[in-house]
Each structure stands twice: as structure tokens, then as C-alpha cells.
């Protein structure tokens, strides 16, 4: 009865949090459990969307938008294309090795239990609404931080991208000669 | 600070050099760029300070490590002379990526903010994923690259999760801005510490996060295997040291048992696993795991000496590894079987008869890796054991000594093979640059074996 | 780099050239390189001497920091002071002469280049030994000369008994070296440093008879016993005569064997602090002197006689040190270096002339055939017998005077030894150079004087044997004792710890009497030898026909046999036991077991390497979970239980 009482007293925000969390977990589980890769990708898009909803709840609108545009939009579409191009639908490898599945579940469960327990045992800091800066998480604040305090990492990310880009070009370019095994 | 700028700019320049018709210019230009970076490293000598809102910490210690990293890169790149002869090769991209990767390595040895650490690790790792698959026609290389990438991504996730937890517990990314010993947020902090350490231990190939090592080392082109086992390791250990000695030094009671267990595991898996390997590169991969164990030992000691020991160990290990892989590259260049470069141990059969110089280089490298006195490797192990002894971890030291005894067995395998007789000898050509590099690494190994204080007295 | 560092550098370069270029560089270059290296060292020594004399201060020349372990800092530094400069003169001077001599002596040997390389290496090690500014460098030199000695004794390695002799020398030296090494460790423990200057400075603050100093000095002396062939570690030296004669002259007479004395004089402060050790040293010296002299009486091998004579003379030096007459002991080192090198080189010349015959019962009447050798040999004989005014007289007399003051019984024994010395040396001389030739016809036809490269060193050394004693006149002659004055600063520390040090209580008349007595004894010995071997022309007997005490002496008191029974046999038995029982049955099992275990674990650890990425990631995740449990499992469980307990209450 106590649980029911708690549910009744949930605020709007809490309601949306739980709803979105259920969606996220559902999407994540669907991603790894569905046998059809295309379904997997769609589940993943769903996960990203619900994660973006979490960001909104956390007052990080910019991050939410970027998450949708870049991950759900660009990257996942690319994923879909690749999956469709390769047409690996028929030869999707069966998770035939039950031992590994069982092992993985046990291990994942253990880690999950430990992490949940650890987080439950920690007193989480509550935010004081009266002093809360509404602008936290806005693109303006973020931009100011990126161009002042985090300027160096921000610039150096470009080196990372450059490596990724030229690496992709290098690996992707066609090469003469035989393939060796 | 300056080498980061210099290397980023010259990396770009190298990419542009790729447009030129004359591909021969890329190699000397890249070496020149690396030398420039080396020179710029010393601008800040004796001028310690913090840069960009405490993002980077520059002092003489970090400059010494910059120099070690850049010099190692130069020595390794020296073996790629003649690379452009292959019509399908894209030298500009390779050399550019090498220079960019050094930016990452430099960030890892001089970061002050965890974001810089993360970026550094990522820059270095992504470069390594690409370079592992650089030989595109070698399907084993492709497999290794993909494997490395998948597992590396997994480790990155763990690392990032750890950093997030750390931020949650402390509200800062700066290391050393306070010593945390727990309190209300201790679980967050502990998870953060554990996950960050795991992420970094993966990069330095400490057991049980070593599983990628043998496959990736074997699949990657030898020159990048050498790069991986020296530069990534040096940078990784300095980063580990920086994190453990500043932010997490208050948590020593928490993490030392974990590190001690991983040392034991790395030593056992590395040394015992190497015993039966027939492929020289796999042997070196297991050896690299065991050396990760030895270097972790230094972290268990008191922090006063640990950095010096890590520095000494990484220098002697780098020298010996470059020698060993260099000899492998030179000898295997002529031996291509079934389209693949032949890299088994018995490649060295009859080497002493065939080419005494190469055999000497190989033997001294192996002796140094095994830690025989009068080579640098001996003192490397000596310092590490001494550090560990200062913290009273005698069971780990006994383990380490036993494992070094096993190590002698497998390091002597190539040595004995190289001394054995062989009837048919093929001619081996060494270009002068490679000869020069061998001379440096071998001479350095011996000099450090006789006068270790030359280097040890730096800090 | 300063001049000082050049002194050992030249022989090292010589060694590298001759050693690395062995068999490649022509014979004509080998000898000039080898001799030149020694000569350049000698010239540099002279220059350094003037540099040192100019300001008279001890020069410490640090080269680099060498070992820093914890608080212990050992630098690689050279020290030039009165003691090391004299040793440098002996080593490079006599060394140069012997290098020159070797040019002629070894000219027919196929290992010519190797020989010069070893000689240069020996010079280098010996110079390190005497120039080092701390005990560790001394130890390196100590080991280095031991190695060279081993290499040179077994130089003619085609003969297995020579190899055995080399091994014997090496093993006996190792026994001593162990003592020396323990001594070094004790010094580190006591003083925390190995630098001479700071050790001796700290030692001056200690009490006489300090027990840990006694252990230190005792252990160091064990090292000296091995290197300087004292009882019980002396039997290697006579066997070491298997090496080429120049080696016997340089290493086993003039330089290496005196390093024990050098070490004691160097550490004189420590020894002065420990009268018990000194007493022990004095008695060991006395016994050695007497024992070796008595064995020498009936030896027929020319080099063996000289070898036992060397052992006995070394005994005299240690007697001198034992009675705190450091200068006298060291004086004898100097004069002995001259006349013993001369005698050995002379013996070499005789052997050369006799077509490699070493048995004096086959010689005789050589005086007329090889005049230069004979004359110089006679000078050496007179010098060692202690007849004035040759070098040996001054140094030996000084030692004996100090011994007389210290202990009359010891003095009496030393006098007996001294008498025997004169007797066997003149016996050797008369049997070799006078009377009728007893060898074969072929040998007689072949008799010839040695080439000038061999006779020049003989003449130079003969000159030095005559005048060498004049650097230390006895007080009663009212002439300055140059050596004592020169060495005096070395004993500042000893004077500080023992106010009695260096005071002589003997009256002049006693001293005159002692001197006269010892000269008389030597003259009597000369007369007896002349009577037996010249007048009556007694032939040296074949050792197998000797009887009674003579047989015991000729067979060296059966010491080798005794050692064989006392040490070698039990060790062999034990090693047999260890081999057949412990090694075969226990250790092999363990070793094989380790190997089996390793390969089992190896199979397990490589089994992890399936190649499947998914499996790898699973293993990693397991590891993560295990580490999390390891790190935080107990805390989490604790907290949950405490919450649970709180709720149930």
C-alpha cells in the first residue's frame, strides 16, 4: 500500500522521469535482444530519443537537441544505410552460445547490483531551487565555458577529429594488390 | 605546451605534403618536424607553470617525458625509410597520424585536468586503431584493428563513466586540487577511481585487461607494434602515476590491493603465456604484459621515487623493444611466405653467422628485457623492486622475481636460435639509418646498464 | 680531463687495441703499443708527481657519480696522495721495464698480442686498485688483478697442470676476496660511506679496540691473506710460477701480491685502532716468513725458490705492518719490488739461456756464459740477503729493529728466517752460476746471453736494487729518512688515535748491535752456502732421495696434501652427495615440477586467447565485476547490513 501511496504522490516531473526511464531501458534491451539488425538500429534510435528527453528533464536543452540531431539523426541513419547495404539480415549470427549469454547476464547483473547498491548508499546532493541558475545547460553558458575555461580541450578535439577523418580516408581508400590472409 | 602546437601544425603540413608528386620528401620532412617538436619541448625548461586555466601542467619532469616520447617516435619512424617505394602506400597520412598521436601522448604526460587526459587517451588510441589497420591488404591486420577498436571503445566507455562518477563525487575535473578520502560521496569516488583505473590499465595492457594485446600486436604492422608497445605504454604509465599520486593518493588504502593483484596477474599471465609462443611478435606482446606488471610495481612504492623508476624503466624498455622489433623488421623484410611477412621465432635462426651486428643488437635487447646485469633492464627492474620493497610488499616481489626467472627462458629462445648454425643463409641488407638507430639503442642499453645514474639523477 | 685520469686510461687503450685487434694487428705493432701504453702512464705519473709535489695536498679527482642507493653515494674518483704516488711509480716504472723485457722474452710465442693485452689490462686494474678514492674501486681493481693473474698463470693453457695452477690461484684468491667484500659491507654499515677520507675521519673519533673495527680490519686482512699469499692461503703463489716469467716478476713479485700491504697501509687508521688484529697480522707474517723460507731451502726449481722467497718476504712486510711500523713494511714493498723483479727477470734470462730448463741441478757454471745476467743476479741476491749497502738491508733491518722492540721471540724467529733467506739465495746463486755445467750438451751449445731488450731492464733494476735503500737511512746514520718524511702525512690519523704511534724507544747502541748481528748472520749464511756448494761442491739432491726433515721441507710440509685431505676431499664428497642425492632426487624434481606447472599454467592462460572479441569483452567484464567486488564488496555489504539491522529494530 505504501508503494501505491508513493506513486499517487509523484509530481509531474517524477512521472515523466519514470516514464522516460522505462522507455530508455526498453529501447536498450530491444537493441541487444532483437535478432534483426534493422530492428536493433530502430530500438537504438528510440533509446537516443528517450535519453534526449532525460537531458531536457535535466535542463540541458542544447545537449538534447545535439543528441537528436547528431546521434539519432546522422549517425543512426548512417548505421541503417550500412546495415541495409551489407544486407546482413539473413546471416545475422545466432547467439548460439548459451554459455556466453548466461555468463554475460550474470556478470552484467553483478556489476549492475554493485553500482545500484553503491549509488543507493550515497547521499545524493539536492539542488536548492532558490539559488539554481536557470541558465545552466543553455547553449550560451556552454559556449562561454567552451571558449574560456575549456578552450584548449575544445581546440584539441579537432586533432582527434582530424585523426579520425584522415584515418577513415586512409583506410577507406581502395588499394591495389592482393588481399592476404 | 609548444610541442602540442608544433605537432598539430606540422601534422597538418604533412597532410598537405601528401599532395606533392614527390613522395620521397614526406619521410625526411616528418623527421625534421619531429625534431622541431623536440626542440620546442625545451623552451619551457626550468619554467614550470600551468597553461589554459590549469589544463596543462608543464615542468621539467613532463619535459623529460615529452623528449622521451618524441625521441622514441623518431627512432621508430627511422625504420620506415623506403616506405614510399610502395606505390599503394600513403606516407603523408601515416606520418601525419603519427604526429597527431604524439599530441595525445604529450597531453597524457602533462595533463592537469581529466578532460585533457581523456582527450589525450582518445587521440592516441584512435591513431593506434588506424595505424593497426594500416596494412590494408593484410586481413589479420584488419581484424586486429577492428578488435582493438571495439575493445578500446569498451574501455573508453568505462574510463568515461569513471570520470563522470569522479566529477559527481568531487565537482571538479582538476587533479590534485584536493585530496579526497571519501566521506558522504565515498562510493561515487570509489567507483570513479576503480573505473578510471580500469580504463587506463586497459591501455597499458595490464592483465586481466590484456586480451587484446597478443592479437593486436601480431596483426599490426611491426613498426606500429613497436610504436604501440613503447609510446602508448610510457604515456599510459605516466598518466596512471599522475592520477594515482595526486587525486587518488588519499585513497591508497583503497586501490593498492587492486593494483597488487593486477601486478601479480600481469606478471603471471605475461611471463607464463610467453613461454609457448612461436611468433616473435606474440612473444613480445606477452612480454609487454609482463613489463606492464613490473612498471605497476613501481606505483605501489612511495611516490618520491616511483616516477623516476617509471621513467627509467620505460626508457630501457623502449630502447630494448625498438632494437628487438627493428631487428625483426630488418630480418623479416626479405622473408614473405604466403603473402605474409614471416615473423616466427625461427626467423632468427643462424643470425649470428649471417649478420653478427644484428645478432648482437638482438641479443643485447633480449638480455635487457630479461633484466640481466650490465644492461639497462637490470637496473630498471632493480629500481622497481626497490620501490616495491619500500612499501613492504614482499610477496609481490617474490612473485616478480620468480617470474623474471621464467622470463629468462623465453627471452633466451631467440638468442639461442640466433646463435645456432644454419646452412643456407640469405643476405640481409641494413640501410645506414637503421644501423644508426640500432647503434643508439644498443649503446644506450649498455650505457644505462653500467651508469644508471646518468638518467636516474634527472629527477 | 685531468692528467690523473690519463694514467689508467693509457693501459686501457693499449688493452683495447691489442685485445680487440688480437690476430689482426701485426706483431711489429703489438709490442710498441703495449710498451708505449706503460711508458706513457709512467711519464704521466711523473707529471702528476710534480703537480702533487707543488702543493702537497691530497688530490681527489672525481670522474662521475657512480652508485647512489639510499643514503649511500659512491663516486668514481681517484685519489692521489703520498701512498698512491709511490705505488704508481712502482707499478708504471717496474711495469714498463717488464713490458720491455717481455718483448724479448715472449718474442717466439704465438700468443704475443694476447700476452701484451693481458699485461696492459693488469696494469689498468692495478692502477685502479691503488688510485681509487674508495674501497669499492679498490675492490674492482682487486678483482681485476685477480682475473689477470688467472689469465696469465694459465697463459700457456695447452698444459692442463698450468690451468690447474691458474684455477688454484683464482679459487684461493676468491676465498680472500670474500673476506674483503664482507669487510667492505661492514665498513658501509659502520660508517655509511666507502670514501677513504670520510671513513678515516670518522674512524678517528672511535676508541682503540673498537670491536666492529676489529671485525672490519680482520675481514679486510683475510682479503690481504689471499692476495698477498699468507698462511693459510699461500700455496697458490708457488704454483702460479707456471705463468711466463715476466708475469711472475710483475704480478707475483713486484705489484699484485703487495696490494695486501698497500691496503693495510691505506687503512692504517683502522688497523691502529685494532691492536688485536695487528698482533694477529704480525704472527701470521712471522709464521709465513719462517715456513716459506724453510721450504725454499731445498727446492730445485729456480722459480719455485724465488716464489717461496717472495712469500717469505711478504711475511716480513706483514710483520712490519703488524708492529705498527707501516713505513718500514711499505719500504720493504719498494725495495722488494726492485730486487725481486730483478731476480725473477734474471731467472727468466737464465731459463731463456738454458732453453727453458728450470731445474738448478741441471745448471752450474753459467757465470762465464751469461755475464750480465749473472752479475745482476748477484746484486739481487745480495740485496735480498740483507747485506749492506744494498736495498734489502735497509728495509729489512728497519723492520727487524721495530720487531725487536715489539716482541723478542718474534724477532728471534724473524732472524732465523732471515738467516735461511740468505742461505737459500746464495745456494741458488752458487748452484746456478758457479761450478761445472751439469746440463746436456745441447743446452751447453745453445747457451747465450739474452737480447738487449731483456738485459736493459736487468741493469736498470740492478741499479735500483743497489741504491733503492738510500731513500730510508736508519736514524743512527744521521741521514734523512726521505721515505718516512714523505709518507708522514698518511699517519696523521694513526697518531691521533694512538699517541704511542711512531715513537722509538731503542737506544742507538742496541740498534747498532742489532744491525751488526743481522749482517753477521747474513754473512755466516753466505759462508755456509759457499762452503757447502762451492768448496765441497755438493750436488743438489733429487728430492726423492732426501730423508728426514729435508724431505719434509722439500715436499713443502705436505701442505698441499693436507689441504687436499682437509678441504678438497670433503668438498668432493659433499658435492658428490649433493649431486647424487639432493640434486638428482630433490632439486631436479622441483625444477621439473616447476617446468610442468609453468606449461600447465601456460596452456590455461593461452586458452583465454580464443580470438573472439565478444569473449574478450566478457572476460574483461568479469574482471571489472571482480575488481568492484574486491574493492567495495565488503563496504557495501557492511552498509546494507547496518541499514537492515536498523530497520528490523
pLDDT digits (tens, 9 = 90+) for C384-409: 888 877 888 888 888 888 888 888 88
Q: Which residues pair with C75 in a beta bridge?
A: C65
SS3 label, residue C233: coil
- Answer whether A181 sits within 8 Å of B139, measured CB to CB: yes
- List the single residue in C with minimal CA-CA distance to A115: C628
Instruction: Count other Cβ atoms within 10 Å, centred on residue B54.
Output: 17
CATH for A2-136 (3.30.420.270, 1.10.510.10, 1.20.120.1200, 3.30.70.660): 1.20.120.1200
- For C542-555, write each residue's pLDDT tens digit: 666 666 666 766 67
The ipTM is 0.88
pLDDT band at C167 (very low <50, low <70, confident <90, very high): confident
Which residues on B lie below 8 Å from A152 (Cβ)? Answer: 51-53, 55-56, 116
Beta bridge partners of C80: C59
Distance of alpha carbon B197 from alpha carbon C634, whole angstroms: 20
C120, C11 Cβ separation under 8 angstroms: yes
Three-state secondary-structure class, residue C59: strand
Contacts of C632 in chain A (CB under 8 A): 114, 118
Q: Does C627 touch chain A (CB under 8 A)?
A: no
- Counting as contact any 3 or more CB pairs under 8 A, the partners of A are B, C
* Cell representation of residue C520: 753477521
Cis before C389 (ω within 30): yes
In Å, how far is B185's CA from the nearest CA of chain A? 6
- Say if A107 is an interface residue toward chain C (CB within 8 Å): yes
Would an 8 Å CB–CB cutoff place C640 in contact with chain A?
A: yes
By Cβ distance, the residue of A148, A162, A169 closest to B100 is: A162
Query: What DSSP string describes C481-524?
Result: -HHHHHHGGGGHHHHHH-TTTT-----HHHHHHHHHHHHHHHHH
The residues facing C195 across adjacent strands are C134
Domain boundaries, chain B: 1-132, 133-456
- Nearest-CA distance A170 → chain B (Å): 7
Domain locations in chain A? 2-136, 137-172
From B220, B37, B85, B52, select the one nearest B140 (Cα to Cα).
B220
**Which DSSP category does C581 fall into?**
I
The helix/strand/coil state of A89 is coil
Report yes or no: B299 and B384 within 8 Å, Cβ to Cβ: no
Task: Estimate to the nearest angstrom the gap between the alpha carbon of C308 and the chain centroid.
Answer: 15
Q: Cell 719490488 maps to which residue? A: C337
Measured CA to CA, the distance from residue C168 to residue C563 in angstroms comes to 12
Task: List all chains that touch chain C, counting a touch as 3 or more CB pairs closer than 8 Å.
Answer: A, B
CA C613 to chain centre: 67
Say what the pLDDT of residue B177 is: 59
Contact A153 B136 (CB under 8 A): no
DSSP A75: I
CB within 8 Å of chain A, chain C residues 582-621: 614-615, 618, 621
Provide the strand spans (E) within C329-396.
none
What residue segments make up the domains of chain C, in order of their start?
A: 284-549, 555-607, 611-649
* pLDDT digit string (tens) for chain B, length 459 residues: 889 999 999 999 998 988 887 777 888 899 999 999 999 999 888 888 888 888 888 988 899 999 999 999 999 998 886 665 555 567 888 889 999 999 999 999 999 999 999 999 999 999 999 999 887 777 888 889 999 999 999 999 999 999 998 888 888 888 875 555 555 567 888 888 899 999 999 999 998 898 899 989 988 888 899 999 999 999 999 999 988 888 888 787 888 888 889 999 999 888 888 888 888 998 999 999 999 999 998 888 777 778 888 999 999 999 999 999 999 888 887 676 666 667 787 788 888 888 888 889 999 999 999 888 888 888 898 888 888 887 777 888 888 888 888 888 888 888 888 888 776 667 788 888 889 999 999 999 999 988 888 787 776
Q: Could you tell me the CA-to-CA distances from C488 to B62, C278, C319, C327, C491 in Å, in that order?
A: 54, 20, 20, 9, 6
How far, in Å, CA of B3 to CA of B100, rounded?
Answer: 11
**Cα→Cα distances C186→B386, C179, C220, C481, Å:** 21, 10, 10, 36
Nearest CA in chain C to B252: C631
Amino acid at each position: 500500500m505504501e508503494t501505491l501511496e508513493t506513486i499517487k504522490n509523484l509530481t509531474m516531473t517524477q512521472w515523466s522521469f519514470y516514464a522516460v526511464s522505462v522507455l530508455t531501458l526498453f529501447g536498450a534491451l530491444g537493441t541487444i535482444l532483437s535478432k534483426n539488425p534493422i530492428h536493433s538500429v530502430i530500438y537504438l534510435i528510440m533509446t537516443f530519443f528517450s535519453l534526449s528527453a532525460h537531458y531536457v528533464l535535466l535542463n540541458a536543452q542544447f545537449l538534447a537537441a545535439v543528441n537528436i540531431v547528431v546521434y539519432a539523426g546522422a549517425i543512426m541513419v548512417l548505421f541503417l544505410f550500412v546495415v541495409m547495404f551489407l544486407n546482413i539480415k539473413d546471416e545475422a549470427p545466432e547467439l548460439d552460445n548459451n554459455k556466453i549469454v548466461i555468463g554475460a547476464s550474470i556478470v552484467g547483473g553483478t556489476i549492475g547490483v554493485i553500482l545500484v547498491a553503491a549509488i543507493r548508499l550515497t547521499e545524493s546532493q539536492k539542488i536548492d531551487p532558490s539559488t539554481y541558475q536557470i541558465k545552466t545547460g543553455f547553449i550560451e553558458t556552454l559556449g562561454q565555458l567552451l571558449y574560456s575555461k575549456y578552450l584548449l580541450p575544445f581546440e584539441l578535439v579537432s586533432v582527434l577529429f582530424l585523426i579520425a577523418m584522415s584515418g577513415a580516408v586512409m583506410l577507406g581508400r581502395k588499394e591495389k594488390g592482393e588481399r592476404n590472409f | 605546451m609548444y610541442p602540442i602546437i608544433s605537432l598539430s601544425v606540422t601534422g597538418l603540413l604533412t597532410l598537405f605534403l601528401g599532395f606533392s608528386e614527390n613522395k620521397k620528401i614526406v619521410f625526411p620532412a616528418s623527421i625534421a618536424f619531429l625534431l622541431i617538436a623536440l626542440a620546442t619541448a625545451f623552451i619551457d625548461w626550468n619554467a614550470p607553470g600551468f597553461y589554459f586555466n590549469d589544463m596543462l601542467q608543464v615542468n621539467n619532469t613532463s619535459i623529460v617525458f615529452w623528449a622521451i616520447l618524441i625521441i622514441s617516435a623518431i627512432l621508430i619512424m627511422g625504420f620506415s625509410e623506403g616506405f614510399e617505394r610502395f606505390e599503394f602506400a600513403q606516407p603523408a597520412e601515416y606520418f601525419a597520424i603519427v604526429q597527431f598521436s604524439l599530441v595525445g601522448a604529450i597531453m597524457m604526460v602533462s595533463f592537469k585536468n581529466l578532460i585533457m587526459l581523456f582527450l589525450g587517451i582518445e587521440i592516441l588510441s584512435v591513431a593506434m586503431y588506424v595505424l593497426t589497420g594500416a596494412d590494408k591488404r593484410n586481413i589479420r591486420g584488419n581484424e586486429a584493428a577492428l578488435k582493438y577498436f571495439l575493445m578500446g571503445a569498451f574501455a573508453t566507455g568505462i574510463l568515461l563513466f569513471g570520470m563522470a562518477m569522479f566529477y559527481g563525487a568531487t565537482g571538479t575535473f582538476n587533479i590534485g586540487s584536493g585530496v579526497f578520502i571519501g566521506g558522504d560521496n565515498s562510493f561515487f569516488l570509489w567507483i570513479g577511481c576503480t573505473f578510471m583505473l580500469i580504463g587506463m590499465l586497459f591501455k597499458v595492457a595490464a592483465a586481466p585487461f590484456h586480451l587484446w594485446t597478443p592479437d593486436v600486436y601480431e596483426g599490426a604492422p611491426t613498426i606500429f607494434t613497436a610504436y604501440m608497445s613503447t609510446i602508448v605504454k610510457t604515456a599510459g604509465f605516466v598518466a596512471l602515476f599522475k592520477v594515482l599520486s595526486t587525486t587518488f593518493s588519499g585513497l591508497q588504502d583503497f586501490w593498492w590491493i587492486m593494483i597488487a593483484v593486477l601486478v601479480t596477474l600481469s606478471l603471471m599471465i605475461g611471463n607464463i603465456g610467453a613461454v609457448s609462443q612461436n611468433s616473435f611478435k606474440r612473444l613480445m606482446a606477452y612480454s609487454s604484459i609482463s613489463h606492464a606488471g613490473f612498471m605497476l610495481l613501481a606505483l605501489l612504492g612511495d611516490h618520491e621515487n616511483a616516477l623516476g623508476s617509471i621513467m627509467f624503466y620505460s626508457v630501457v624498455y623502449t630502447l630494448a623493444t625498438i632494437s628487438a622489433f627493428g631487428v625483426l623488421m630488418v630480418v623479416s623484410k626479405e622473408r614473405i611466405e604466403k603473402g605474409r611477412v614471416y615473423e616466427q621465432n625461427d626467423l632468427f635462426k643462424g643470425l649470428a653467422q649471417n649478420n653478427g651486428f644484428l645478432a648482437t643488437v638482438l641479443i643485447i635487447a633480449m638480455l635487457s628485457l630479461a633484466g640481466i646485469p650490465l644492461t639497462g633492464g637490470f637496473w630498471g627492474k632493480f629500481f622497481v623492486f626497490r620501490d616495491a620493497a619500500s612499501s613492504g610488499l614482499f610477496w609481490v616481489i617474490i612473485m616478480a622475481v620468480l617470474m623474471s626467472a621464467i622470463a629468462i627462458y623465453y627471452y633466451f629462445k631467440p638468442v639461442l636460435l640466433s646463435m645456432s648454425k644454419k646452412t643456407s643463409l640469405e643476405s640481409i641488407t641494413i640501410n645506414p639509418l637503421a644501423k644508426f638507430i640500432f647503434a643508439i639503442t644498443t649503446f644506450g642499453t649498455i650505457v644505462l646498464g653500467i651508469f644508471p645514474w646518468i638518467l636516474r639523477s634527472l629527477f | 680531463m685531468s692528467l690523473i685520469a690519463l694514467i689508467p686510461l693509457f693501459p686501457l687503450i693499449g688493452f683495447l687495441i691489442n685485445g680487440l685487434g688480437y690476430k689482426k694487428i701485426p706483431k711489429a705493432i703489438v709490442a710498441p703499443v703495449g710498451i708505449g701504453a706503460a711508458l706513457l702512464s709512467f711519464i704521466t705519473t711523473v707529471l702528476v708527481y710534480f703537480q702533487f709535489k707543488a702543493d702537497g695536498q691530497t688530490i681527489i679527482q672525481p670522474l662521475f657519480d657512480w652508485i647512489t642507493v639510499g643514503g649511500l653515494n659512491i663516486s668514481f674518483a681517484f685519489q692521489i696522495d703520498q701512498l698512491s704516488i709511490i705505488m704508481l711509480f712502482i707499478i708504471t716504472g717496474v711495469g714498463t721495464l717488464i713490458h720491455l723485457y717481455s718483448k724479448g722474452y715472449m718474442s717466439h710465442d704465438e700468443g704475443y698480442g694476447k700476452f701484451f693485452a693481458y699485461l696492459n689490462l693488469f696494469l689498468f686494474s692495478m692502477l685502479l686498485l691503488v688510485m681509487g678514492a674508495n674501497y669499492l674501486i679498490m675492490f674492482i681493481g682487486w678483482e681485476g688483478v685477480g682475473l689477470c693473474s688467472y689469465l696469465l698463470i694459465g697463459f700457456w693453457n695447452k698444459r692442463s697442470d698450468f690451468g690447474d695452477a691458474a684455477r688454484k690461484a683464482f679459487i684461493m684468491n676468491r676465498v680472500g676476496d670474500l673476506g674483503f667484500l664482507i669487510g667492505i659491507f661492514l665498513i658501509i654499515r659502520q660508517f655509511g660511506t666507502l670514501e677513504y677520507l670520510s671513513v678515516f675521519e670518522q674512524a678517528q673519533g672511535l676508541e682503540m679496540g673498537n670491536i666492529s673495527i676489529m671485525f672490519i680490519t680482520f675481514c679486510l686482512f683475510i682479503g690481504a691473506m689471499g692476495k698477498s699469499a699468507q698462511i693459510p692461503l699461500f700455496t697458490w703463489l708457488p704454483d702460479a710460477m707456471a705463468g711466463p716469467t715476466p708475469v711472475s716478476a710483475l704480478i707475483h713479485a713486484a705489484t699484485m701480491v703487495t696490494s695486501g700491504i698497500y691496503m693495510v697501509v691505506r687503512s692504517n687508521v683502522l688497523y691502529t685502532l685494532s691492536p688485536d688484529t695487528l698482533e694477529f697480522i704480525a704472527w701470521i707474517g712471522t709464521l709465513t716468513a719462517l715456513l716459506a723460507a724453510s721450504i725454499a731451502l731445498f727446492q730445485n726449481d729456480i722459480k719455485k725458490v724465488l716464489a717461496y722467497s717472495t712469500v717469505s718476504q711478504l711475511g716480513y712486510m706483514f710483520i712490519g705492518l703488524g708492529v705498527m711500523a707501516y713505513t718500514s713494511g711499505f719500504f720493504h714493498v719498494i725495495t722488494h719490488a726492485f730486487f725481486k723483479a730483478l731476480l725473477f727477470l734474471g731467472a727468466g734470462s737464465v731459463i731463456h739461456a738454458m732453453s727453458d730448463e728450470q731445474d738448478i741441478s741441471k745448471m752450474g757454471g753459467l757465470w762465464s756464459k751469461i755475464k750480465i745476467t749473472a752479475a745482476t743476479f748477484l746484486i739481487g741476491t745480495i740485496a735480498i740477503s740483507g747485506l749492506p749497502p744494498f736495498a734489502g738491508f735497509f728495509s729489512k733491518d728497519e723492520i727487524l729493529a721495530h720487531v725487536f722492540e715489539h716482541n723478542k721471540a718474534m724477532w728471534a724467529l724473524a732472524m732465523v728466517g732471515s738467516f735461511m733467506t740468505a742461505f737459500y739465495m746464495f745456494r741458488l746463486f752458487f748452484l746456478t752460476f758457479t761450478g761445472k755445467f751439469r746440463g746436456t750438451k745441447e743446452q751447453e751449445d745453445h747457451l747465450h746471453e739474452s737480447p738487449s731488450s731483456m738485459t736493459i731492464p736487468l741493469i736498470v733494476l740492478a741499479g735500483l736494487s743497489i741504491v733503492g735503500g738510500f731513500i730510508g737511512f736508519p736514524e743512527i746514520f744521521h741521514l734523512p729518512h726521505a721515505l718516512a718524511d714523505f709518507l708522514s702525512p698518511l699517519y696523521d690519523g694513526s697518531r691521533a688515535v694512538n699517541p704511542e704511534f711512531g715513537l722509538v724507544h731503542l737506544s742507538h747502541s742496541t740498534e747498532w748491535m742489532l744491525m751488526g748481528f743481522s749482517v753477521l748472520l747474513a754473512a755466516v749464511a753466505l759462508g755456509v752456502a759457499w762452503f757447502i756448494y762451492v768448496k765441497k761442491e755438493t750436488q743438489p739432491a733429487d728430492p726423492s732421495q732426501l730423508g728426514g726433515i729435508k724431505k719434509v721441507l722439500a715436499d713443502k710440509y705436505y701442505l698441499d696434501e693436507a689441504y687436499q685431505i682437509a678441504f678438497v676431499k670433503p668438498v668432493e664428497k659433499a658435492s658428490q652427495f649433493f649431486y647424487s642425492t639432493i640434486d638428482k632426487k630433490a632439486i631436479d624434481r622441483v625444477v621439473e615440477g616447476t617446468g610442468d606447472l609453468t606449461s600447465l599454467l601456460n596452456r590455461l592462460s593461452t586458452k583465454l586467447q580464443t580470438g573472439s572479441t565478444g569473449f574478450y569483452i566478457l572476460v574483461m567484464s568479469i574482471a571489472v565485476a571482480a575488481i568492484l567486488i574486491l574493492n567495495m564488496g565488503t563496504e557495501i555489504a557492511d552498509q546494507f547490513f547496518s541499514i537492515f539491522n536498523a530497520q528490523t529494530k
